Every structure is written in C-alpha cells, then in structure tokens.
C-alpha cells in the first residue's frame, strides 16, 4: 500500500509516456510491481500494489467480486440537502468531447455509491463516499449529478481551486493474498482541501 500524492499518474500517460507514474517512481527501489487498481491523477490516497503475479491475480479477483471496501473523502461545493444517501444510477464513460462519465439510464453500466456528510462548512461540505462498483470517475459523476461537484473538479463543472480536485482515497479494506487476513489501510486526509 502507498499513499499516492495528487498529481502523480497511476499508469503511464497515454499522451506523454515520459511523465512520472507510480511504477516508474517505485520500481527502481522495490523491483517489479503490479498495479492492482488505479486512482485518477488528481486523486490522492490509498493505492494497492502487488509484489508478485500471484498476489496481483488474487487482489484483482477481490476487486472484480466487490470484496474490497473503499472509502473516499470529497470536499464538495454547496451543502447537500441529505445527511446520507445511496446513489444507484448507471454510468457511461467517455461521453462527449471532454470524455466525461455521465449518468445514462439506457446505455450506462450499473453504479452504486453510498454517500454520507461528515462535516459542513460555510460553502462546502466534507462527504464520505463508499463506492460498491468501480466505474471510471464514479464518485465525481454521481456527486455532480446530485448537484454537488467536488471542489476544484473543473472537468465536472466545479470552480477552479488552488488545491486541485479535492478527492482523497481515505481507506481500503481487503484480504491479504498470502495470509488470508482481513486488513485495512488508511491514509489520512491532506489538509490542503479543508477550509481553514
């Protein structure tokens, strides 16, 4: 597990392969690594890597079978008119010329996100998001559809922020591929997103 900083690609960039990414930064010190899941470049927080092909297969299976519990924290624009809500709206990726993810009842794939307000500020709120599925930009798209885009997420209509996109992978719970032990990893929130 690593605590990925915002701005670092998980995988090599499709347009510029010379940009740093997780493996290019870590492999010189740790040797061959396998990427199990990914975080958007703008997203910070818990990212799981495998040291062997066998561990990679086992962890991949857990993700595919929804056996991994992921918790994200997002600072959103506005104050939601709910305290807790489950969003069960299908999502379609690569919509339009900006390649956003959007709710699409007819052509989208199932997507479920559980949301809970943790703290309210003057013009923003800190929201916990627990996605059941792993669609591209799922949390960003669901929150935008509800009318509460993530602070700094210009792709989804939010105002620019000096802190960038305020989305953080807070914790991840999975079963260790070798020992069978249930484990939880947590990366504390970066404070740059929270109002002073």
Q: Known catalytic residues?
A: 40
Whether the Cβ atoms of residue 100 and residue 155 lie closer than 8 Å to each other: yes
Spatial separation of the C-alpha atoms in residues 139 and 109, rounded to whole Å = 14
Q: How many CB atoms lie within 10 A of CB 83?
A: 10
Q: What angle is formed at CA 162 by the lines to CA 156 and CA 163, rounded to 5 degrees?
A: 75
Spatial separation of the C-alpha atoms in residues 39 and 41, rounded to whole Å = 6
Query: Which tokens hold the place of 136?
Result: 């591209």
Q: How many residues does the chain have?
A: 196
Query: Which tokens hold the place of 134?
Result: 């792993």
* Among 193, 165, 187, 156, residue whose Cα is nearest residue 42: 165
Query: Which tokens hold the place of 132?
Result: 């059941």
């Amino acid at each position: 597990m690593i605590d990925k900083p915002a701005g670092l690609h998980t995988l090599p960039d499709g347009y510029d392969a010379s940009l740093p990414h997780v493996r290019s930064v870590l492999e010189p010190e740790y040797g061959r690594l396998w990427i199990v899941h990914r975080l958007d470049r703008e997203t910070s927080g818990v990212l799981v890597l495998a040291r062997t092909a066998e561990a990679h297969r086992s962890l991949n299976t857990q993700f595919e079978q929804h056996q991994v519990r992921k918790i994200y924290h997002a600072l959103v624009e506005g104050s939601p008119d709910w305290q807790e809500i489950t969003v069960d709206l299908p999502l379609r990726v690569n919509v339009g010329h900006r390649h956003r993810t959007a709710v699409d009842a007819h052509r989208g794939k199932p997507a479920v996100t559980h949301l809970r307000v943790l703290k309210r500020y003057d013009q923003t709120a800190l929201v916990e998001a627990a996605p059941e599925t792993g669609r591209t930009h799922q949390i960003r798209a669901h929150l935008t559809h509800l009318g509460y885009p993530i602070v700094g997420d210009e792709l989804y209509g939010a105002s620019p922020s000096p802190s960038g996109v305020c989305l953080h992978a807070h914790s991840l719970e999975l079963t260790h591929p070798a020992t069978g032990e249930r484990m939880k990893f947590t990366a504390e929130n970066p404070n740059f997103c929270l109002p002073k």
